[in-house]
Structure 1
Amino acid sequence: MTNLSFVPVQNPATTDSGHRFDTSRHWAASLTLGFSAFTEGDTSITRMNIARHYGPLRVQRPFYPEGRDGCCHVYILHPPGGLVSGDALNIDVSVEEDAHTLVTTPSANKLYRADSNDVAWSQITNLKVANGATLEWLPQESLAFDGSRGQQTFNIDLAENAKCLGWEILCLGRPASNIPFATGQLEQRFQLSRNGQPLWLERQTIDPNHPRFTGKWGQGGSTVHATLWTVGLSDPDQAITALREQLPTANHWAVTYRRGVLLLRYLGDDRNQVWALFQQARDILRPLLTGHQATVPRIWLT
């Protein structure tokens, strides 16, 4: 058994000006998590052995709904509940050899309207998975308010025999309040590499003033954009066939497989629709990826 303490660290940013409200406004927060597999008798158990934080980023204690020798579930907490101008969040997750970890969040991540100086926010997520390890990155959706301005960056670094299943869901505007995403600008960047070799590189800019935002050749006015990725499948053809046969046929989605990366895309207008779609896709993919049925994190049910 490993004793774990949550260690606050010094601000990693070179500029700490949290209480400024001019164009140099900066609120930094970081979270570093590490997971390793430990042997107890004949059983391999995944433990969280690193938990360092700065600012308002925390984790709850690990949960083991799949048994002590099953996947280690962890919930990332961001008490402010969203990102405002000047926020700079950095999340680093490392999963060591033979460990299996699932990381999620208890609620949606809100991306608030930029301040009067139009200062952007940023969120950088670095995921590193070692040989024989598995990481499931399953946050709840990000809700972008009208006027939000910022950048999300995802760096996924996989070893030769690492496995990873993850998703990112972005919802634009506040449909329930009849407030569309009419101003602001968001950028999403994805980089997934295996052994340092890039397999999936993508940059997407979301700008309501660009013709691509409403054009049929672009986003077509869709308010929900989502991507699910899976790497490490032993039989990708079987996985694609299962998805195409079992997922609803009219839910604005498509699946592709290239250079070892399976991508399931959604472009539509319904958060509940994509959430149900991705959960069903995970139900299909997880047994093919890990040999275990999908277990729903209990935080999703509260």
Structure 2
Amino acid sequence: MPWLATLDLRYTLDAQGRTISQEQHSGPMRVLQRLYPEGPALAQHVLLHPPGGLVAGDSLTLSVHLAAQSQALITTPGAARFYRSEGEPALQAVHLHLAEGAQLEWLPMETLAYPGCKGRNALTMHLAPGARLLGWDVLALGLPAAEQPFLHGDIHQHLQWPGVWLEHGQINAQDQALMHGPTGLAGHSTLGTLWLASGSPWTEAEREALLDAARSVLGQAPHSSLLCGATSPDPRLIVLRAVAHQVEPLMNALRAVRLAWRPMALGRAAVEPRVWRM
């Protein structure tokens, strides 16, 4: 029997300015920790999926709703996994809804695509005016450290902000032009996307400052060895894309750019979630 899991998180701001949450779940997905290390306005939640991964027919759906002016940071204690599958594809779907003035940092650890997996990884976001969302998506193909390259299997990646941004791709391990060609992944096995979205457009000066900050970080060692770049395809969106041969250098680069962007876009100190230091 497939594992079916859903988790619905709703954040609101109480009369004292504290962001509080309510949750409803079905199946094996929970909030592991609720933390307020930066004060009561920002709720930091660590999500846990005890099975640790998805196989044929499994489905994991997360819905996050932030009421006006509420603030949340969501991360995970470890990588998500699409295991080898002989049956139906496994689905991981995330829906993010931010009301006016809400702020969310969506910072899960990487997703590992095991050789032979059939995965569908989708994220959709909706932002009201004044809302801000800083998020990332990191996908690692195969298990290079275990000498298990991604030689068979396929995974669909889908990132969408309806009407503003759409990135959709199918990664098939046997597509040699995609996996090894110079206009494809060129042999890289890790893909990362970091984005900063605003429900209201930034000024030209603000956009340029955010792009300059990202490019400055990426130009410094050791991040300068990565194949990466930052663009602004819409006045409401800044996107950084990167590929690498391993997860760690790519993730370190995304974390460094996040620290540069956080004070500029969210008005918060350049600090990392406490759970990452455990």
Would you say same fold, with TM above 0.5? yes
Find the counterpart in structure 1 of residue 181 from structure 2: 215
Find the counterpart in structure 1 of residue 30 from structure 2: 58
Q: What SS does the corresponding residue of 2:36 show, helix, strand or coil?
A: coil
Name the CA distance, whole Å, in 1 between partners of 2:138 and 2:216: 23
Name the CA distance, whole Å, in 2 between partners of 1:107 and 1:299: 10
Find the counterpart in structure 2 of residue 202 from structure 1: 167
Q: Is the 8 A contact 1:29 1:88 kept in 2?
A: yes
Q: Is the 8 A contact 1:182 1:208 kept in 2?
A: yes
Q: How does 1:68-79 map to 2 (within 5 A)?
A: 68-69=40-41, 71-79=42-50
Give 1:138 deviation, angstroms.
0.2
Name the CA distance, whole Å, in 2 between partners of 1:81 and 1:27: 11
Question: TM-score, normalised on structure 1?
Answer: 0.86
Tell me if 1:251 matches 2:226.
yes
Q: What SS does the corresponding residue of 2:164 show, helix, strand or coil?
A: strand
Give 1:36 deviation, angstroms.
0.6
Quick one: which amino acid aligns to residue 167 of structure 2?
A: E
Quick one: which amino acid aligns to residue 64 of structure 2?
A: V
Quick one: which amino acid aligns to residue 191 of structure 1?
A: Q
Find the counterpart in structure 2 of residue 107 from structure 1: 78
Q: Is the 8 A contact 2:105 2:135 kept in 1?
A: yes
Which of the residues 15, 20, 31 maps onto 2:7? 31
Name the CA distance, whole Å, in 2 between partners of 1:163 and 1:141: 22
Give 1:244 deviation, angstroms.
1.4
Give 1:283 deviation, angstroms.
0.6
Find the counterpart in structure 1 of residue 65 from structure 2: 94
Which of the residues 33, 39, 46 maps onto 2:19? 46
Name the CA distance, whole Å, in 1 between partners of 2:134 and 2:102: 12
Name the CA distance, whole Å, in 2 between partners of 1:77 and 1:276: 22
Q: What SS does the corresponding residue of 2:35 show, helix, strand or coil?
A: coil
Q: Which runs of 5+ in 2 are unaligned?
A: none
Name the CA distance, whole Å, in 1 between partners of 2:131 and 2:40: 21
Name the CA distance, whole Å, in 1 between partners of 2:116 and 2:246: 20
Runs (4 or more) in structure 1 with deviation over 2 Å come to: 246-250
Q: Which has the larger radius of gyration?
A: 1
Q: Which runs of 5+ in 1 are unaligned?
A: 1-17, 19-25
Q: What SS does the corresponding residue of 2:61 show, helix, strand or coil?
A: strand
Name the CA distance, whole Å, in 2 between partners of 1:153 and 1:59: 20
Which of the residues 179, 182, 195 maps onto 1:229? 195
Name the CA distance, whole Å, in 2 between partners of 1:124 and 1:130: 20
Name the CA distance, whole Å, in 1 between partners of 2:112 and 2:217: 28
Name the CA distance, whole Å, in 2 between partners of 1:61 and 1:174: 29
Bigger fraction of residues in helix: 2
% identical aligned pairs: 33
Name the CA distance, whole Å, in 2 between partners of 1:45 and 1:27: 35
Q: What SS does the corresponding residue of 1:83 show, helix, strand or coil?
A: coil
How many residues end up aligned between the 2 structures?
A: 267
Give 1:39 deviation, angstroms.
2.1
**CA distances 1:228-271 after superposition (whole Å, capped 9, x unpaired):** 01012561110111111233333211000021211000111121
**CA distances 1:15-55 after superposition (whole Å, capped 9, x unpaired):** xxx2xxxxxxx321100000011122xxx11111x200000
Find the counterpart in structure 2 of residue 240 from structure 1: 211
Q: Is the 8 A contact 1:97 1:133 kept in 2?
A: yes
Q: Is the 8 A contact 2:33 2:47 kept in 1?
A: no
Q: Is the 8 A contact 1:66 1:295 kept in 2?
A: no
Give 1:177 deviation, angstroms.
1.1
Give 1:64 deviation, angstroms.
0.3
Give 1:209 deviation, angstroms.
1.2
Find the counterpart in structure 2 of residue 129 from structure 1: 98
Q: Alpha carbon RMSD of aligned pairs, Å?
A: 1.2
Q: What SS does the corresponding residue of 2:215 show, helix, strand or coil?
A: helix
**CA distances 1:268-299 after superposition (whole Å, capped 9, x unpaired):** 11211011101100111011111111331122
Find the counterpart in structure 2 of residue 176 from structure 1: 145
Quick one: which amino acid aligns to residue 183 of structure 2?
A: W
Quick one: which amino acid aligns to residue 63 of structure 2?
A: D
Find the counterpart in structure 2 of residue 263 from structure 1: 239
Name the CA distance, whole Å, in 2 between partners of 1:187 and 1:157: 21
